[in-house]
Amino acid sequence: MSLRALPALLLRDLRLAVRHGGESLMPLFFLFAVLILVPLGVGPGPNLLATIAPGMIWVAALLASLLALENLFRPDFEDGTLEQWWLGHLPVTGLVMTRLLSHWLITGLPVILFAPLAAQMLYLPDQALGVLMLSLLIGTPILSLIGGLAAALTLGTNRGSVLLSILVFPLVVPVLIFATGAVAAAADGFSPRAHLGLLAALLVLALTLVPLAVTAALRLNIE
Amino acid sequence: MIWKTIKVGFHRLGSAPSFYRFSTVVSPWLWAGFALCSVIGVYYALYVVPPDYQQSDSFRILYVHVPSAWQAMAGYVVMSILAAIALIWRIRLTEIMAMMCAPIGAAFTAICLATGSIWGRPMWGTWWEWDARLTSMLVLLFIYLGIMGLYAAFDDKRKGARVACILVLVGLVNIPIIHFSVEWWTTLHQGKTIRIFGESSMHYSMMPPLIWMTIGVKLMFGAALLDRARNELLTQDRRKGWVRKILSNKGD
């Protein structure tokens, strides 16, 4: 069994993303588009913006992560590559996790890197910036995992994208609560450890169970 | 010997015509039981139980609110068990039964949220509060709706049912969150007052209608589930021989 194919798949996905260029960065542009609408919508007062900043950044990150999900498995499903995953000798769960990792590297990681800019736009207090980035680092992989599950579930349907967002939203509620709780606590000068600990627990839970569910959902869809 | 009879009976229920006959016989009895229990329950709740010392008569909505909340969660557990059976043994009838739990469970969740809201307005002074119990119940409603939407989005109903069954099992994580939400977070919704083990903090004189209503609601869930599953089965198998035979026996 050669696991060298897993890095090869990862590299292929990343190379595809790089060569698509702007298209791959659309989720990041979308994130900033949402964040620009916030001060225009609720008013540019720094106090109000600082209060809602953790929630708005997280909601925007969540919406941005939904954008790239539609094409997570669909092209491979349509051209028959997914069936080859089952015919090959590699563990399918490993391939699934590799694909989810590439999704996170393309949509999650840029959000973390640009979080300082987003935080400045909404006047997030400086002492909360580190916690915001940490919460994104722990939380965005969960978004990729749950989003991947929704993408796998809706694969066999024709009108996937709206349904996909509806499936994701109830499942990510705990992530949003603990992540914004951590940032808000840090902004108010309290310890964010309890929230971050629970968020990390969610990540461990999702990391262990979601790939199995994704594999099962893909398998049912290619039958 | 008895075990064998049960096993054969269970396997026989998995066949569509047998299930059709079984459910047409059983569901009227469940509806009748529901009618009886709820008439007794409503009578006790409105005329026998004394008014609460703080909330006077308005607490009586509890007898709709609590049984539907319990059934919204119990219905999800039933749906999960059916979904697990459907995924493991691929029994078509349990797939259909699991899917048909979702609209009934969603209805009970909606009733629970609506009655809670109506009760909350005079007692808490607000229609809605982003409290842990209320929020997790709302999430349950959206999980139910997601399951229904996913099932409906597939043209191939068997595939749709199996895929939605995975979502059912994933959504199961929400059930313990709802159950323990009043213990983990201290917000607006009151804590656990009714216990099976140990003493309830609700006075015993208020208990009988709750028990009647709870039994009634459970029977109603069973009846509605059997009826829905039977209708779904007839719709899916409308071109098959056994359905044509039943329809031709019904005249014209």
- ipTM, two decimals, is 0.87
Chain segment B158-189, per-residue pLDDT in tens = 999 999 999 999 999 888 888 877 777 766 67
Count of domains for chain B:
1
Task: Give one DSSP letter per residue of A97-163, joined into a string.
Answer: HHHHHHHIIIIIHHHHHTHHHHHHHTT--GGGHHHHHHHHHHHHHHHHHHHHHHHHHTTT-SSHHHH
Instruction: Tell me what pLDDT residue B196 has.
Output: 60
Question: What residues have CB less than 8 Å from B100, skipping those under 6 apart?
Answer: B225, B228, B229, B232
Among chain B residues, the shortest Cα distance to A168 is held by: B146
**Nearest CA of chain A to the CA of B145: how many Å?**
9
**Nearest CA of chain A to the CA of B202: how many Å?**
31
Instruction: Tell me what pLDDT residue B201 has.
Output: 67
Angstrom distance (rounded) from CA B115 to CA B69: 10
Angstrom distance (rounded) from CA A140 to CA A148: 12
Determine, yes or no, domain membership for B44.
Answer: no
**Nearest CA of chain A to the CA of B92: how many Å?**
14
Among chain B residues, the shortest Cα distance to A150 is held by: B167
Determine, yes or no, domain membership for B6.
Answer: no
Which residue among A149, A174, A220 places its CB closest to the CB of B170? Answer: A149
Residues of B within 8 A of A154 (CB-CB) are 150, 153
Residues of A within 8 A of B164 (CB-CB) are 153
Is A170–B150 a contact, with Cβ atoms under 8 angstroms apart? Answer: no
Which residue among A163, A210, A221 places its CB closest to the CB of B149? Answer: A163
Which residue among B153, B162, B171 places its CB closest to the CB of A220? Answer: B162
Block residue for tokens 């992989």: A141
From first to last of its 252 residues, what are the pLDDT tens digits of chain B? 788 888 887 777 778 888 888 899 999 999 999 999 999 999 988 888 877 777 777 788 889 999 999 999 999 999 999 999 999 988 889 999 999 999 999 999 999 999 999 988 888 888 888 888 888 899 999 999 999 999 999 988 999 999 999 999 999 988 888 887 777 776 667 766 666 666 666 777 778 888 999 999 999 999 999 999 999 999 998 888 888 888 887 755
Contact B162, B87 (CB under 8 A): yes
Is B177–A213 a contact, with Cβ atoms under 8 angstroms apart? Answer: no
Determine, yes or no, domain membership for B47.
Answer: no
**Nearest CA of chain A to the CA of B139: how many Å?**
5
Determine, yes or no, domain membership for B251.
Answer: no
Chain segment B9-18, per-residue pLDDT in tens = 777 777 888 8
DSSP three-state, residue A196: helix
Determine, yes or no, domain membership for B15.
Answer: no
* Distance separating the N- and C-terminal Cα atoms of chain A: 25
Instruction: Tell me what pLDDT residue A75 has.
Output: 87
Angstrom distance (rounded) from CA B83 to CA A76: 28
Angstrom distance (rounded) from CA A218 to CA B3: 37
Determine, yes or no, domain membership for B205.
Answer: yes
- Interchain CB contact of A221 with B (< 8 Å): yes
* A·B CB contacts under 8 A: 60
Is A223–B159 a contact, with Cβ atoms under 8 angstroms apart? Answer: yes
Residues of A within 8 A of B171 (CB-CB) are 170-171
- What domain range is B155 assigned to? 65-239
The residue extents of the domains of chain A are 5-222
Given a cut of 50, the residues of chain A with pLDDT beneath it are none
Torsion of CA B147, B149, B153, B157, to 10 degrees: 50
- Interchain CB contact of A157 with B (< 8 Å): yes
Is B150–A163 a contact, with Cβ atoms under 8 angstroms apart? Answer: yes
Determine, yes or no, domain membership for B105.
Answer: yes
Instruction: Tell me what pLDDT residue B76 has.
Output: 95
Interface of B with A (CB under 8 A): 87, 135, 139, 142-143, 145-146, 149-150, 153-154, 156, 159-160, 162-164, 166-167, 169-171, 173-174, 177
